[in-house]
Amino acid sequence: MSCSEFGARDLDTRPANDMRDCLDYFIQQCPHCGYSHHDLSQAIDESKSVIQRPEYQSLLVAPHVPETARSYMASSFLYEQQRQFAKATWDMISAAWICDDEKKDDIASFCRVQAISLLNNANAYQQSIAEQPSLAQLIKIDLLRRANLFDLGLTELAQLSDKKMEPLLKQTAAFQLDRCLAHDNAAYNFADVTSTH
């Protein structure tokens, strides 16, 4: 399957077009022990003890959660136990994307709320989910908005400094402000931003 990317990314940086359909190929799960990782040949430290814990095992059989989303959630849990919070955040966001595709809106919102918590921990440990701090903040704002946490999104926007932001990110902040005020939790991409601002 082709995993090339053409087109505008979503505001949470989800890739466009063919790359959107490749999430299933970016996570693996051992059929015997349930170990979930992007590469099963690379074990996370102390993963053997973690995957035996009830919290981990419950993720593997979570009802109504798409199978691939469960794998991403399990991988996120493993990273979280190692305090690799940035990687844990991205795996939880990936789980949300899978749930979006499967029209599991409530579970997608749950995953985004979990991703926000992990992102806060990443910030506390000075781990970044994006090269640009302002982009990382805007990703958090999109997670809040998509999870119907509009007031918290507005609070984050009020704290956002645009002094060193690129023009596109400034436009994105203005777009997010409009969408939060409208209580709009829909998915948008950067092409939507440039077409309206």
Burial 92-121 (b: 16+ CB within 10 A, else e): bbbbbbbbbebebeebbbbbbbbbbebbeb
What's the pLDDT tens digit per position in 153-187?
A: 999 999 997 777 999 999 999 999 999 999 999 99
What's the pLDDT tens digit per position in 33-70?
A: 999 999 988 877 678 889 999 999 999 999 999 999 99
Q: Where residue 196 falls among pLDDT bands split at 50, 70, 90?
A: confident
Looking at every residue in the chain, the average pLDDT score rounds to 93
CA dist., res. 158 & res. 174, Å (int): 11
Q: Do residues 180 and 153 make contact, with C-beta atoms less than 8 angstroms apart?
A: yes
**Domain extents for the chain?**
1-129, 131-197
- Using a cut of 0.85, tell me whether the model's pTM lies above it: yes
CA dist., res. 129 & res. 106, Å (int): 24
CA dist., res. 32 & res. 26, Å (int): 19
pLDDT at 147 over 70: yes
